[in-house]
Amino acid sequence: MTKNKKYGKTALLTASFLWGIGFIAVQGALDSGWHPFLLLGFRGLMGGVFLGLFSLNRKWWKKHDLMRDGIVAGSLMFLAFALQTFGQRASSATNASFLTTLYVVFTPLLLYLITGRKVGVSTWIAGSLSLFATALLTLRGSFTLSFGDTLLIGCAITFALHILMLEKIAHHDDALSLTVLQCLTMSVWAFLFSLFSKTGVPAQGWGYVAYCGIISSGIAFFLQTYGQKHVDASISAILLTLEALFGAAGAVLILHEPLGPTAVLGGFLMMVAILLLETGPILHQQFMKAFIIAKREVEKEP
């Protein structure tokens, strides 16, 4: 593994941890009376301004291609976070942390549909496991999804598109400026939509909002953008899904959300699916190598 790839994977793992804890901060802000659009507006503004202080010397506002790509990525980020925040408000932090990570399945599938890259057998198996895990996590005594869970699955699809977009624009080699543009774009969209919600800014919950803005939206997305410069999109998605583990653990330990045996099984199967996406191709390669060696040995026998 090259040095840059190690740094990239470390950055992605750190981002997944920060996002996992971010589910708890989002829940705290929602419980404090924050409307999702206002929450997204302030978290984008805080993240953009915080990182913007370190990117002024790059003069990114003069680079039209960078501006365009950053705005497109930021629009996808806004849509994904909007679906996630509204979905979590109608569901739970535990379900949000697990269902959001379905992007690990949608990323390679969309990559195939958009670019034609082939999807391996392990991806299809992992997809089937993830769908079954999703059912265990979300079905409420009947074959129906709650409205919040449906929004969270939509969020996972949008995050998959966002991951593919970041891989496409990595050639700009300016992760910091791209993150600033994404945060500010999300903030503008969120404040525009908040005009229709007609809700005021709560006096409490600012600590949660600050974490969501500076840490989850600013630092974590910078780490993701940097990490994807050096790590393939499908592998990036796998590493980022560890946010489900951190998020669910935090929801149980800090928010005291219930986690029954069915949800534990669903979460376990989703983690198995994630590991399969990483190890499946390697195991297949090793199996084929061993098969070829064994075949040659048999052919040598008289």
Which residue ranges make up each domain of the chain? Answer: 3-300
What are the Cα distances from residue 50, in Å, to 10, 38, 198, 273? 22, 18, 27, 36
Supply the mean pLDDT for the chain: 82
pLDDT of residue 262: 74
Residue 36: band (very low, low, confident or very high) from pLDDT cuts 50, 70, 90:
very high
Sequence-distant contacts of 271-275: CB under 8 A, at least 24 apart: 271/244, 271/245, 272/129, 273/104, 273/105, 273/125, 273/126, 273/127, 273/129, 273/130, 273/133, 274/101, 274/104, 274/126, 274/238, 274/241, 274/242
- Could you read off the pLDDT of 43-73 as tens digits, one per residue? 999 999 999 998 888 888 889 999 999 999 9
% residues pLDDT > 70 (the chain):
82
Whole-structure pTM value: 0.76
Task: Decide if pLDDT at 196 tops 80.
Answer: yes
d(CA 136, CA 99) in angstroms, rounded, equals 11
> 71-85, 89-103, 109-123, 228-242: which has the highest mean pLDDT?
71-85
> What amino acid is encoded at 36 in this protein?
P
% residues pLDDT > 90 (the chain):
32
Residue 278: band (very low, low, confident or very high) from pLDDT cuts 50, 70, 90:
low
Task: Decide if pLDDT at 143 tops 60.
Answer: no
pLDDT of residue 146: 82
